[in-house]
Structure 1
């Protein structure tokens, strides 16, 4: 085989690998599709708190949170959960733990290993001050990839979801879109959402609103209900 044939083969392998990697990353963060619910028969609301785990709330070399930002957002999440449970509404937490050797390789290479199997930061942040009615482990961004979540919401007659947690541009966005696609009414407690990219989150939030998500403030929820 000539040198140019070898070079061509290497380039081809790299292109195939890059395409596979891009496809895998899109699958990890894109919304999923599922059956549309009968919202008229589901009068209950629930709070869904996404991925507030030690791995994702700590500062790392590549990810630095603004001072006191995480403390404030977690305090708001705790208040939302207390209010929801006082009204008899279920509170669900999720934790993101990636599956698969290649996915965990990518997360180690591109994502500082955060959320990878074997990490010591996979549990909920210790500042979370409530006991969820259900805690779900997921391996992709959209929580609706979990059959457990859909079954829980069906059992409890939930047709309206309030979403909080992180990251706004990834798991929050994909879960909100997954919920909308299934016919849920979706509220975003925007002052209880964390995003490491504030500018990007402004664009993501606008996109979600354009698709039917309602923005609410955590302080307003207690007054409105």
Structure 2
């Protein structure tokens, strides 16, 4: 066999190994967690989770902008303001990978811990210091979030942000696994999928897609 033939075989082998590794990384990243079922609180509270609206994903460093990002962020800010006005805990979730070659390659460095891309999108209204990072899709993978919600006796969650079929979705599953009532606010989630695809996925998984009216008792467009 010629040298070119060996080189081709080597490159094909590397490609297969890389594909298998990325598949393994994807399975590990896109998953939901399980935890203890929350207690029945005497005075239960609500919390709003603002998920992954970051400079490296929706902001100035985004590689693949989401459709209607500006309008969605305006809606997210309205929901945040209403939550603040009505005593609902507002919690910010950010995705941040530990530094490694593979994650630098996958995200072009913009979601590596310490990179400006990890910071909350500058257009988002920040009204609390409740800020938690995660390195897989389900925000409950950060045990500090679990502890915070339990300490504050939260039993109902409202989810906004992105991506509707990834981090919002898997965080919703993680919350349901723990006994939370979960409302994903349809007007305030971002995704590259169609509305029909999102609705089908959520219906299949038992996740409730809600209007902003669920939180505000009136539409807040």
What TM-score results when the alignment is normalised by the length of structure 1? 0.82
TM-aligned CA deviation for residue 128 of structure 1? 1.2
User: Could you say if the C-alpha distance between residues 64 and 78 of structure 1 is closer, same or farther in structure 2, counting changes exceeding 3 Å?
Assistant: closer
CA distance in 2, matches of 1:190, 1:209: 13
Q: Does 1:32 align with 2:26?
A: no
RMSD: 2.9
Q: Does 1:123 align with 2:119?
A: yes
User: Could you say if the C-alpha distance between residues 60 and 205 of structure 1 is closer, same or farther in structure 2, counting changes exceeding 3 Å?
Assistant: farther
CA distance in 1, matches of 2:60, 2:120: 15
Can you list the C-alpha shifts for 1:59-112, whole angstroms capped at 9, x where unaligned?
77851333xx222111111111111122211100011111241442342xxx44
Can you list the C-alpha shifts for 1:148-176, whole angstroms capped at 9, x where unaligned?
10000000111111000011121111111
User: 1:90, 1:133 within 8 Å by CA — same for their partners in 2?
Assistant: no
User: Could you say if the C-alpha distance between residues 97 and 45 of structure 1 is closer, same or farther in structure 2, counting changes exceeding 3 Å?
Assistant: same
CA distance in 1, matches of 2:91, 2:62: 30
TM-aligned CA deviation for residue 29 of structure 1? 1.9
* Map of 2:216 onto structure 1: 222
* Map of 1:88 onto structure 2: 87
User: 2:138, 2:174 within 8 Å by CA — same for their partners in 1?
Assistant: yes
Structure ranking higher in helix proportion: 1
* Map of 2:69 onto structure 1: 70
Runs of 5+ in structure 1 lacking a partner?
A: none
Aligned length in residues: 217
What TM-score results when the alignment is normalised by the length of structure 2? 0.84
Runs of 5+ in structure 2 lacking a partner?
A: none
Q: Does 1:190 align with 2:186?
A: yes
**TM superposition outliers: structure 1 runs of 4+ over 4 Å:** 3-14, 39-42, 59-62
